[in-house]
Structure 1
Amino acid sequence: MTFMNSFQTLDTLEVGGRTFHFFNLLKLQEQGRVDLSKVPFSIRVLMENLLRNEDGRLVTTEDIEAILDYDARKVPAREIPYMPARVILQDFTGVPAVVDLAAMRDAMKQFNGDPARINPIVRSDLVIDHSVQVDAFGVRDAYKINTRIEFERNKERYSLLKWAQGSFRNFSAVPPGTGIVHQVNLEYLASVVMTGEAGGRTVAYPDTLVGTDSHTTMINGLSVLGWGVGGIEAEAVMLGQPYYMLLPEVVGFKLTGRLAEGATATDLVLTVTQMLREKGVVGKFVEFYGPGLDELPLADRATIANMAPEYGATMGFFPIDHTTLDYLRLTGRSDEQVALVEAYARAQGIFRTSETPDPVYTDTLELDLGTVEPSLAGPKRPQDRI
């Protein structure tokens, strides 16, 4: 793969004795093309995505011009091609995608082609969690018993997935009993900054994804851009096609203060959900900012991001900061990976600190965390808070 680099943003970054190439958004600022400090962090990630994937066919200079001209206060009804770095699947919606790929291999063979040419183009991880049932409980060996029954009950499915993992490139299956798909993504699969080889270069770029579950947005709490899509859309991305989307409006949610003693992440997320439902954020990005982020651990951020479908937004995004780095260390990511994430985010202008200027948003709302009170979800809808 070669890069077009029409906007002359390809740059290098030295981290831990290694050289990484990346598409530097700050070069756009040096050229006078954008004032990056005014651009929402989530839009900066999309900018990089288009710059890196420019090929003159799927991503054109006109697409890049459209996002470089982004003004949150007046967002045009303009479609752009988003090229996620990976796809995450859960078993109910992911298995049909694997079956489709297998059928494509059969068709390739019928036309005297090479079936091995059919593979996911981008990394695709299938986490098995939705189908797992609880047959045994309250006994010491409940986990082992339930896992064994699950393999017996769905033997045909696991035979298919074992074959797929051994046959397809860029595909892996996470077995049952490992955890809920969103938690596995948060604690293990996500890297925040990814690397790949292209044209003899090692390229660093933001971790981005789409997933076949509406609560894929939980990963936004770890500063990874992504949201849930339908199975057909996910398959298209797996095969190297863009996810076409309208340039999004971005609603800024400013957090100040800190949670009072006795208030929990559940109380906070119910309050946030109620406020955003009243504001109206369907089809929009929500991005959290403000000094209150420094008081919000990553588990709380992930809880808020997970609820994006409930408050109606496409996603609820938290920028990379020291809390992100601390969580990566906590969950066993390597020192080299953490160093890369920090160095890349700082060099790219996507690292948030307490001194970071507030971006310009389409609309804003504000919450003092100290005012959050213990509450319960409504009897039918979470925003009907009690």
Structure 2
Amino acid sequence: MTAIGLDSLQTRSTLTAGGKTVDYFSIKKVSEKLGDVSRLPFSMKVLLENLLRFEDGGFTVSVQDVQALIDWQKDAKSTREIQYRPARVLLQDFTGVPCVVDLAAMRDAMTALKADPSKINPLVPVHLVIDHSVMVDEFGHPKAAEQNVEIEYQRNAERYDFLKWGSKSLNNFKAVPPGTGICHQVNLEHIAQAVWT
């Protein structure tokens, strides 16, 4: 990910691998300055690194936010809200379609304001996997799966056309068609990245 933070705690470090050098924010370095984080759950370490990467002097992320996350270890609770910026978003079609509808509505509003609608896009990569909508109409023969997907396209043509529009019109948005697999399977086998730069 792009390192945009102020790095007030001086945790930015570099790693060279495969002939490339990348910046990262060291959990070890923050531990030396603000307290031991070795017992934080892995998911909380991900949040901690995210806060370090985007620390901006308190506009959205402050050193106090970092400290609050570390202090969470004391009694496993906190009343402080923190900022989180994911590297990407994975959507399933029933929950994802309303997101695309919102983006389309914002583009319509930009057009009504005589502004450039193409400025409305997801800020991070978004994958919408159309998975749980395939129904079983055909079964018990070799062409059943193929025919079920075909029926599905007919049944949901308007929704799929809309999502196809989103894939072609919105930057940072891709829709994975039905019949490809379930959301988490498609994510693990085709979409997910272990390292983001």
Structure 1 match to 2:196: 194
The equivalent of 1:144 in structure 2 is: 146
Aligned partner of residue 190 in structure 2, secondary structure: helix
Question: 1:54 and 1:65 mapped to 2: Cα distance?
Answer: 12
CA deviations over 1:164-194 (Å, ceiling 9, x no partner): 1011111110110111112222222222322
User: Which residue does the alignment assign to 2:54?
Assistant: 53
AA in 2 matched with 1:113? A
Q: Which has the higher contact order (CA 8 A, sep 6+)?
A: 1
- 2:189 aligned with 1:183: no
- The answer for the alignment partner of 2:36 in structure 1 is 35
Query: Does residue 1:95 correspond to 2:106, yes or no?
Result: no
Aligned residues: 194
**Structure 2 match to 1:67:** 69
Deviations 1:123-162 (Å, cap 9, x if unpaired)?
Answer: 1110101211111111111121111111111111111111
In 1, the alpha carbon distance for the partners of 2:175 and 2:147 equals 21
2:86 and 2:136 map into 1 onto residues whose CA distance is 34
CA distance in 2, matches of 1:177, 1:42: 32
Distance in 2, matches of 1:83 and 1:132, equals 32
Tell me, yes or no, if structure 1 residue 44 matches structure 2 residue 52.
Answer: no
Deviations 1:223-268 (A, max 9, x none): xxxxxxxxxxxxxxxxxxxxxxxxxxxxxxxxxxxxxxxxxxxxxx
> How does 1:1-386 map onto structure 2 within 5 Å?
2-29=4-31, 31-55=32-56, 56-73=58-75, 75-195=77-197
Q: Report the alpha carbon displacement of residue 57 of structure 1 after superposing the two structures with TM.
A: 1.6
Structure 2, gaps ≥5 residues long:
none
**In 1, Cα distance between the equivalents of 2:64 and 2:36?**
19
Which residue type is aligned with residue 168 of structure 1?
L
How far off its partner does 1:54 sit?
A: 1.7
Post-superposition CA distance 1:22-72 (Å, at most 9, x none): 11111123x342223233322211110111122232222221221233324
Provide the identity percentage: 54
TM-score normalised to structure 1 length: 0.48
Query: What letter corresponds to residue 55 of structure 2 in structure 1?
Result: E
RMSD: 1.7
Whole-Å Cα distance in 1 between the matches of residues 78 and 138 of structure 2?
A: 55
State the secondary structure of the residue aligned to 2:126.
strand
Say which SS state the counterpart of residue 157 (structure 1) adopts. Answer: helix
Asked whether the equivalents of residues 37 and 70 of structure 2 are also in contact (C-alpha less than 8 Å), the reply is: no
Deviation of the 1:74 alpha carbon: 5.2
| Runs of 4+ that moved beyond 6 A | none
TM-score by length of 2: 0.91
Deviation at 1:92, TM superposition (A): 1.2
Distance 1:179 1:35 in 2: 42
Q: Is the 8 A contact 2:121 2:172 kept in 1?
A: yes
Task: Please tell me the residue identity of whatever aligns with 1:108.
Answer: M
Summarize the Cα distance change of 1:74–1:115 in structure 2 as closer, same or farther, 3 Å threshold. Answer: closer
In 2, Cα distance between equivalents of 1:37 and 1:94 = 36
Structure 1, unmatched stretches of 5+, are 196-386
